[in-house]
Structure 1
Amino acid sequence: MHSDSISRYLSNKIRSDLESTLFSCCPNRQWVSAMMANLPAATDDDKLIEMATTTFMGLESDQWLATFATHPKIGDQTKSHQKIESKEQSGMSTAPNEIQENMRNLNVEYERKFGFIYLVCATGKSGHEMVSDIRNRLLSSRKDELHKAALEQTKITAIRLRNLV
C-alpha cells in the first residue's frame, strides 16, 4: 500500500489539475463533475473507490457508451495508445500474432453485435484470457453486456485511481 492516500493526493490538487487527473482515470465529464462535487465525502481510499464506482454506474447508458468510445480496442495496434493504456493492455501486445489476430476479428464481431467496443479491465490478463473472455461475452444479450462493460470500466477506473499515489 502506498504511504499517501488517494483522497489526500486529490484534495491537494488545484481544481483544473483535479479535473484533468480525474478525467485521466475515467474519461467522462459527468462522472468528473459528480466526483468533484462529492470528493470531500471520500474520507478514505475505499470510500473514494466505492464513490467512483457508484457514480459511474449511476450514469445513463449513453454516458457509459461515450466513455467506452474513448478506449482503444484491445489488440488494436493502429490507434495511438496513451502510455497508461499501452501498459494496461500489455498482455495482448506481448501475445502471439495468432492471438492478436483472433482478438482483432472478435473485436469486429463484438462491435457489430453490440454496437460498442469490447471493454475489459486488461491489467494482468494474458492475450489468451482476453480472447476467452470476449468469446464468452459474445454469448450475452446487449443489455447484459452493456452492464458488464460498465463494470469493467469501474475496475479500470479503480486501478487508475490507485495508481495515482
Structure 2
Amino acid sequence: MHLTPADFDALPEADAVALLLDCCASPTWARSVAAARPFGNREALLSAASAAAESLTGADLDDALAGHPRIGERSEHASSRREQAAVTTADAGTLERIAAGNGAYEEKFGHVYLVRAAGRSAGELLEILERRLANDPETERKEVRAALAEITRLRLERLVTEETA
C-alpha cells in the first residue's frame, strides 16, 4: 500500500495508528504520530516520526523491540521478510553463527538484536552483531534507538510517498 501525505492525513485515527504500527510496534509512538496530523507533506511526517521516536521511554522502546523478529528467523511481517531477504540465501555456517549470536545478544541485553537489515548481506548483519556484542548496555541502547529510527523511516518512506504508485 502506498499513500500520499493527503491520503494519510485523511485516514481515521484508528486506521492511521494501525498502519503506523506496521512501521514501529510502539503503540505510544504510533498514537503520537497519528495525533500530530495533518502533515501536508512527507518530510513533515518523517520529521514528526523521528521526534516521536526520540521521546520513547524505555518501556516504549521495549514494545517496539517486541515487534521485531530475530535476524535469520522467518517472520509473518511482510516488511521484515523483505528487509531480511539476504539472510534467506546465506550459507548454513553464517546462519548458525547468526543464530548463536542472537542467543548471546538476547542473554546479554534482554531483547532481540535490532539492526537495519535492508540492503545488507547476511555476512554484514553477522559482523554488526558480533561488534555490538562487545557494547556495554548504555552504548547498545543508543545503537538500538538508531536502528529503530532507520527501520521506521524506511518503512514510512515505503508507506507514504509523494505520489500514488
Q: Fold-level match, TM-score > 0.5? A: yes
1:99-132 CA-to-partner distances (Å, cap 9, x unmatched) read: 1111000000111111111000100110000000
Question: Post-superposition, which runs of at least 4 consecutive aligned residues in structure 1 deviate over 3 A?
Answer: none
Query: How far 1:8 sits from its partner (Å)?
Result: 2.1
**Partner residue of 1:91 out of 80, 86, 89:** 86
- 1:66 alignment counterpart: 63
Q: Is residue 2:146 matched to residue 1:151? A: yes
Aligned counterpart in structure 1 of residue 10 of structure 2, from 9, 12, 31? 12
- Amino acid across the alignment from 2:109: F
How many residue pairs get aligned? The number is 159
Q: Does 1:76 align with 2:73?
A: yes
Pairing partner for 2:158 from 150, 153, 163: 163
Q: Residues 57 and 151 of structure 1 are in contact (CA less than 8 Å); yes or no, is this contact kept in structure 2? A: no
| Structure number with higher relative contact order (C-alpha < 8 Å, ≥ 6 residues apart) | 2
Whole-Å separation in 1 of the counterparts to 2:96 and 2:6? 43
Name structure 2 gaps, 5 residues minimum. Answer: none
| Counterpart position of 1:21 | 19
Partners in 2 of 1:4 and 1:82 — Cα distance? 19
- What is the Cα-based RMSD across aligned positions, in Å? 1.7
Give ranges in structure 1 of 5+ residues lacking alignment. Answer: none
